[in-house]
């Protein structure tokens, strides 16, 4: 096994690159999670997914997506919608 001892500049450069890579990978996900609402309205769900009002109603009627209802007010849990999208992700043919 060979051992390599880096000088101060190489070590600092390596650490800086590793920190930058970690930040660029983690920060967008953390910001998305911190700013995401726990529940979405139909309008917010349409904006997020691009689904039509009728498509959302059909998914709800067939119980394909999770939702909460109190009276006429219907809300969609953000994490449940994200889970639905992940479960229905179709991988491309390679």
Query: pLDDT band at residue 67, thresholds of 50, 70 and 90?
Result: very high
Residue 82's pLDDT is what?
A: 93
Neighbouring CB atoms inside 10 A of 4's CB total: 5
CA dist 48 and 61 (Å) reads 20
Return the domain boundaries, the chain.
Answer: 36-87
Exposure string of 29-56, with b = 16+ CB inside 10 Å and e = fewer, is: eeeeeeeeeebbebeebeeebebeeeeb
Q: What is the pLDDT of residues 6-60, one digit of tens each?
A: 788 888 988 999 899 888 888 888 887 787 789 999 999 999 999 999 999 999 9
- Note the pTM of the prediction, 2 decimals: 0.63
Radius of gyration of the chain measured on its C-alpha atoms: 22
Number of H helices, E strands in the chain: 4, 3
């Amino acid at each position: 096994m060979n051992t390599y001892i880096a000088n101060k500049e190489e070590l600092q450069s390596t650490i800086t690159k590793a920190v930058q890579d970690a930040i660029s990978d983690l920060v967008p996900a953390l910001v998305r999670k911190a700013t995401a609402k726990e529940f979405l309205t139909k309008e917010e769900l349409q904006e997020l997914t691009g689904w039509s009002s009728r498509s959302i109603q059909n998914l709800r009627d067939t119980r394909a997506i999770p939702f909460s209802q109190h009276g006429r007010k219907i809300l969609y849990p953000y994490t449940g919608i994200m889970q639905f999208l992940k479960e229905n992700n179709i991988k491309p043919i390679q």
